[in-house]
Structure 1
Amino acid sequence: MKTSARNQIKATVTEIIGGTVNSEVVMDVAGTPLKAIITKEAVSEMGLTAGSEVYAIIKASFVMIAKEKPGKISTRNVIETTVSDMIEGPVSCELKLAMGSAVLTAIITEEAAKELGVAKGDTVYALIKASAIILAQ
């Protein structure tokens, strides 16, 4: 499978919380929990159960960054990471974020990177809406 999404992260489903239309799929990524919201129909069509292996596909531009852990927030995924690499450009900045043995890529504006004072080695929080994650097998 080839996609333009920078993040195609292998995960193991640990729990599925079924709803009327959508289900929350809780996964483990190298010891880090990750939650996705997909349709109940997609869960059935993919045959997802606890223990299923999936790929969480996330566009790098869907990953928001915070220097401090947010308080009350509706975003289901707030993941503590470490900036392992950083490529700065005139418009955008690419951050490689270590979360255990997995790497998450984020693209933020160069202006935002400077305002946040993000540097290689920093601890940052990756914020990802559960509805922004696509699952694949």
Structure 2
Amino acid sequence: MADLGWPELAIIALAVVLLFGWKRMPDMARSLGRSARIFKSEMDQMRTTPDSGADSGRTPGADTERDAGHDARSDIGHDTGYITVHDAVHQADARVAAADAEVARLRAELLRRKHANGSH
């Protein structure tokens, strides 16, 4: 890996400012800090959670489904019976994709109605 000195870092910083604009920099820094905190907490959790434990990777609320007699294995197809973080991310991505599709459908419907009514 190449050594980055102050001139190289200054050029990179200038390129980032030119690409994204000065006004968006605080939001980007805030998002980067939030992501770093989340990553650090996940790494700490992975270090403290035993590898052989059944509780590793569970999402909040999995206990209530299990305690209510709901078999989570039939819903997600895993042998553990718990919804893992990976599965929760995929479920969230699927919900986001469905919401995006619904937004696109509604926009198309709105445009169709505007053109049908003659208003532009």
> Which of the pair has the greater relative contact order for Cα pairs under 8 Å at 6+ separation?
1
Whose strand fraction is larger, Structure 1's or Structure 2's? 1
Whose helix fraction is larger, Structure 1's or Structure 2's? 2
TM-score by length of 2: 0.23
User: Greater CA radius of gyration, 1 or 2?
Assistant: 2
